[in-house]
Amino acid sequence: MSALRDRMNRLRGSGSVSTGYNEAAGALAAEALSETSDAHQAAADVQATRPQPVEVETERLHPEWTPFGVRLRCNAEGEFLLRETRYPASHRHGIHQLTELREAAAGLSAFHGETVHAEQLLFLDLETTGLGIGTGNVPFMVGIAYLQGEQFVVEQTLIRHPAEERAMLAYLETMLPSFRYLVTYNGKTFDWPVMLNRFIMNGRNSRAWEPLHLDFLHPARSIWRNTLTSCKLSHVEEERLGIERIDDVPGSLAPQLYFQYLADGEPDTLKGVFRHNEIDMLSLACLAIRFGHLLGNKTMDEAQDWPKRYVALPEQTEELVRTGLWLEKMGLLERAELLFALAADAEGGEADALLKLAGRDKKAGNWTRAVLLWQKAIAVPVKYGAASLNACVELSMYYEHKLKDYSSALQYATEALEHALGNPLLGRADAKKRAELASLRNRQERLQRKSGRMQGK
């Protein structure tokens, strides 16, 4: 009987007025009467009259929700709001078309060693009442997105008050197992632990879905940490994906806006939060395309419709080199070597990336390309710091020890010393800098002697 009372209370507490409520209430009342006289018949009545998950008419919603395109969804646990937006696969977000996801998905197999199909990817992003992963942090909006046929579907669930959380989680619990991979940005640390906590706190099965996780924050940091001032998703979007957010509501303001909505009941308060979350979904898909192309040997100038202005920029060199090193660690040597070759052939480059690849080639005995990379690093503008100095030192050592060309070695040693003396950071009078300068002077003097002896022969 207590279970029946709970369901009756949920129906009353929904605040909805419709003939559907009266019918459901009458059915539950009949069930209660029959239970006292004939338990078996009552069970049959319950099965026959139990409300099935249905989509409730939007007229039950306040008219102020109409501009949002949300619908009221009802299941055995209660009600919540659902907003669904469908984009054609040809939709362009930044420099990418969503249709590229089908081809790029295969490259994502490098993460887990399994073949990936675009339809297996579920993109997830939460808007929560706080920033921690503790039990008090509630996701009031859960955004999921996936490719379905020739459309990219973005679903955003919203709870109008905490009592609707169970209904939202019940819906998500039916959706999640349809996918193999979970795609997030910092989701291993935040989004997914928060979701698991909420499943547990609401008595749901937290192990109903155990996906293979693709958290793109970590590769983004690995590849772009030296060329981007920040690896926040909004910054990666602008600098690498060609996405510009206009009048965007920062995610950090989402909790404040939700609490304001709870206080005043005005749906318009959440308009910016809906849009912010939706863009996050689209950007995650584009980031999957970017990494899929890189890991699958689909480079910028080869990928479908990538603008030529994104080819051979300095930051591309770092992207190619660091992705290649990443692939090399995975044992995908042929893919890695292709990216290394593209980085070496590109015009210009990011000096630290060039030095990193040159160091790798030095260890591998690939001196021809290492020398080329050191020479390119020297030509990079001084703003890249000590890279030119280090490249000069490497070339000086190469000509001295490998080729016994003391004249060329002296030339590069002298250039390295000039870099050190002309750079205020390297010329500071602390013990370490004094030792570096002393080492460079010793190298120069030694090579002067060797060069003089060679010329005197």
Chain centroid to Cα 180, Å, comes to 17
For residue 57, the 8-state DSSP code is P
Q: What's the confidence (pLDDT) of residue 6?
A: 52
Q: Is 166 left (phi over 0), alpha (psi -120 to 50) or beta?
A: alpha
Where in the chain are all domains bearing CATH 3.30.420.10? Answer: 60-295
Contact 142, 172 (CB under 8 A): yes
What's the pTM? 0.73
Q: Which CATH class is domain 60-295?
A: alpha beta
- Phi then psi for 81, rounded to 5 degrees? -105, 145
The answer for residues whose C-beta is within 8 angstroms of residue 392's C-beta and 6 or more apart is 378, 412, 413, 415, 416, 419
Q: What's the confidence (pLDDT) of residue 385?
A: 56
Where in the chain are all domains bearing CATH 1.25.40.10? Answer: 308-456
Architecture of domain 308-456: Alpha Horseshoe (1.25)
Q: What is the pLDDT along the chain (457 residues), one digit of tens a residue?
A: 444 445 444 444 444 433 343 444 334 333 433 443 343 343 334 334 333 444 544 457 888 898 999 999 999 999 999 999 999 999 999 999 999 999 999 999 888 888 999 999 999 999 999 887 777 899 999 999 999 999 999 999 999 999 999 999 999 999 999 999 999 999 999 999 999 999 999 999 888 899 999 999 998 988 888 778 889 998 899 988 999 898 889 888 999 999 999 999 999 999 999 999 999 999 999 999 999 988 886 554 454 444 333 344 556 788 888 888 888 887 878 878 888 888 887 766 678 888 889 999 999 899 999 999 999 888 876 544 578 889 999 999 999 999 999 999 999 999 888 888 776 655 455 677 778 888 989 999 999 988 877 665 5
Strands 96-97 and 212-215: unpaired
Q: What's the confidence (pLDDT) of residue 24?
A: 40
Three-class secondary structure of residue 142 per DSSP: strand
Of 402, 395, 400, the C-alpha closest to 358 is 395
The C-alpha atoms of residue 345 and residue 317 are separated, in whole angstroms, by 10
R_g of the chain, CA atoms, integer Å = 30
